[in-house]
Amino acid sequence: MRKRILIVGGGYVGLYTALRLQRKLRGPLKRGEVEITVVDPQGYMTYQPFLPEAAAGNLEPRHVIVPLRRVLRHCKIINGHVTSIEHARKSATVEIAAGEAWPVDYDLLVLAVGSVSRTLPIPGLAEHGIGFKTIEESIQLRNQVLGLLDRAASTRDPEECRRCLTFVFVGGGFAGVEALAELQDMAQDYLKWLPALNARPRWVLVEATDRILPEVGPELGVYTVEQLRQQEIEVLLNTRLNSAVGGRIELSDGKVFEAATLVWTAGVKPHPLINATDLPKDDKGRLKATVNLTVEGHPDAFTAGDNAAVPDLTTEGAYTAPNAQHAVRQARCLADNVLATLRGHELRPYKHAYVGSVASLGLYRGVAQLYGVKVRGLPAWFIHRTYHLTRLPTLNRKARVLGDWTFALFFRRQFVALGSMRDPYREFDIATGRRAQPSAADTRARASS
Ligand SMILES: Cc1cc2nc3c(=O)[nH]c(=O)nc-3n(C[C@H](O)[C@H](O)[C@H](O)COP(=O)(O)OP(=O)(O)OC[C@H]3O[C@@H](n4cnc5c(N)ncnc54)[C@H](O)[C@@H]3O)c2cc1C
């Protein structure tokens, strides 16, 4: 009888699992003995470590995503949200659009929906903040930063100028530090083209603990703080965001100021879909995984990545960290265990000792800790780029990214703020009279929202 494998989520774990299964099950897939279905609301996998470079315009955004239909030719792709899973009946509900939802039945389940931003009930955060996990957010931030620099150079109101030029990032992990450093680097470059601007942009990193980038260790964390401060970035440690109502930032150290941009990168939590399943979760909302990457008590359900609590066999009592390094390796092990289940073989446990981390701090600057060796500056930045290039799925994407970097050696990056992307119907609505010409107040609200 045909075995139906359902993969929920086409990110790191989902894509790498599907690619491996597609390769190893070529014959059974052709003969119709196996069917692999991948469900993801987006038609692509996002290579998240390159999002900061995409935001800064060093990489074309389309080059850091991998189209699922193109690389998973022997799998069935459904673009929709899985809204619930009843594993007791081996059935998932997929919502394609409002009002259209249907069940997808399966024999083996791979649940890999990753994580979402971990937010706090801070007044004004939901209205004024933006996350940094998706390609859409990175494109929006690029447009917003360039648009606000343009506006600051045009306004005659010094308060509005200051507001436009104030960029606040909350959370000193990978995403926050890299996004801030890359965008600040881009803004510095753009200032050369804004001679009319006689104020300096203000970049603020707010971190609740006493260190940033814990992934690279305390010594490189301190170095990173020094580097960022040298780049005119205010790094506020042991500080929390208390309020952002109306774009007015209030911090726990008493500072109060207006900022048009608030980026929230203060950690992640498991995707809420995990709660809409009948599978076992831990107190952090993660699926309870076994060392073989099956879900506890369910040999026909597999999980890995950011949404799973996977025991770390290299450190007693610990769980693997939510990062790409584990996600990619777990996907390989998970796919092999799916194959072993189909063939009635023994499953193998997942074991990987963390190699270290690399982070970029803008063009030609970085930090890296690999196998305990600490690297900083240009060599670390070079390692960062080389490592991620080798990890990027498919030769096609690798070639495109390499092409972008090569072009950037000879041509300056482009500084065009395509802010109207958020409202592409505007011009035609004005032309047809459906909308009045927007006032400056409307434009301001849009750019800072
Ligand atoms: C800006 C940034 C930089 C990073 N840099 C690094 C780095 O340098 N090194 C490192 O090791 N890690 C890094 N990470 C972390 C790394 O990207 C994650 O750990 C990794 O993506 C986790 O893989 P995953 O498969 O669990 O989740 P994801 O890759 O997030 O995939 C989840 C997938 O599930 C899909 N999905 C969501 N909801 C549903 C639904 N209801 N139904 C179906 N599908 C759904 C999503 O669309 C997505 O495609 C970074 C993360 C970010 C945000």
- 132-149 pLDDT per residue, tens: 999 999 999 999 999 999
Atom of ligand 1 minimally distant from the CA of 14: 25
Residue 4 in contact with residue 37, Cβ under 8 Å?
yes
CA angle, residues 171, 173, 177, in degrees to nearest 5 = 80
Q: Output the CA 11–ligand 1 centroid distance in Å.
A: 6
SS3 (DSSP) at 289: strand
Q: Across residues 89-106, what is the average pLDDT?
A: 93
Q: What is this structure's pTM?
A: 0.90
Q: Output the CA 114–ligand 1 centroid distance in Å.
A: 5
Strands (E), 294-389: 294-295, 298-303, 308-309, 356-360, 366-370, 373-376
CA angle, residues 202, 208, 214, in degrees to nearest 5 = 95
Burial of 406 (0-12, 13-18, 19+ CB in 10 A): exposed
Position 420 scores a pLDDT of: 60
Q: Quick check: 421 pLDDT over 80? A: no
Position 419 scores a pLDDT of: 63
Residue pLDDT, tens place only, 50-67: 999 999 999 999 999 999
Mutate to test the pocket of ligand 1, among 323, 329, 350, 391 (most ligand atoms within 8 A of CB): 323
Strands (E), 151-305: 166-170, 202-206, 233-236, 241-243, 248-251, 256-258, 261-264, 268-270, 287-288, 294-295, 298-303
User: Pairing relation of β-strands 287-288 and 308-309?
Assistant: parallel
Q: Output the CA 277–ligand 1 centroid distance in Å.
A: 20
Q: Output the CA 356–ligand 1 centroid distance in Å.
A: 19
Atom of ligand 1 minimally distant from the CA of 94: 42
Q: Across residues 180-194, what is the average pLDDT?
A: 94
Residue 164 corresponds to which tokens in the numbers above? 């436009």
Position 447 scores a pLDDT of: 46
Position 198 scores a pLDDT of: 86
Mutate to test the pocket of ligand 1, among 113, 118, 293, 387 (most ligand atoms within 8 A of CB): 113
Atom of ligand 1 minimally distant from the CA of 44: 49
Per the prediction, the chain carries an average pLDDT of: 92
Q: Quick check: 444 pLDDT over 80? A: no
CB atoms within 10 A of CB 288: 17
pLDDT band at 446 (very low <50, low <70, confident <90, very high): very low
Q: Quick check: 203 pLDDT over 90? A: yes
Alpha-carbon gap, residue 140 to 259, rounded angstroms: 16
Q: Output the CA 111–ligand 1 centroid distance in Å.
A: 13
Q: Output the CA 117–ligand 1 centroid distance in Å.
A: 11
Residue pLDDT, tens place only, 398-420: 999 999 999 988 888 777 777 66
Position 426 scores a pLDDT of: 79
Atom 40 of ligand 1: nearest residue by CA position: 81
Tell me which residue of 126, 168, 174, 176 sits closest to 148, measured CA to CA.
168
Percentage of residues of the chain with pLDDT beyond 90:
80
Q: Across residues 373-395, what is the average pLDDT?
A: 93
Position 438 scores a pLDDT of: 62
Atom 24 of ligand 1: nearest residue by CA position: 114
Residue pLDDT, tens place only, 385-395: 999 999 999 99
Strands (E), 304-415: 308-309, 356-360, 366-370, 373-376
Residue 281 corresponds to which tokens in the numbers above? 């979760």
Tell me which residue of 371, 351, 417 sits closest to 183, measured CA to CA.
417
Q: Across residues 369-378, what is the average pLDDT?
A: 90
CA 417: distance to chain centroid?
22
Q: Output the CA 392–ligand 1 centroid distance in Å.
A: 13
Q: Across residues 414-442, what is the average pLDDT?
A: 71
Strands (E), 271-428: 287-288, 294-295, 298-303, 308-309, 356-360, 366-370, 373-376
Q: Across residues 81-90, what is the average pLDDT?
A: 97
Alpha-carbon gap, residue 140 to 261, rounded angstroms: 11
Q: Quick check: 448 pLDDT over 60? A: no
pLDDT band at 445 (very low <50, low <70, confident <90, very high): very low
Cα–Cα distances in Å, from 105 out to 156, 178, 209, 278? Answer: 61, 41, 45, 15
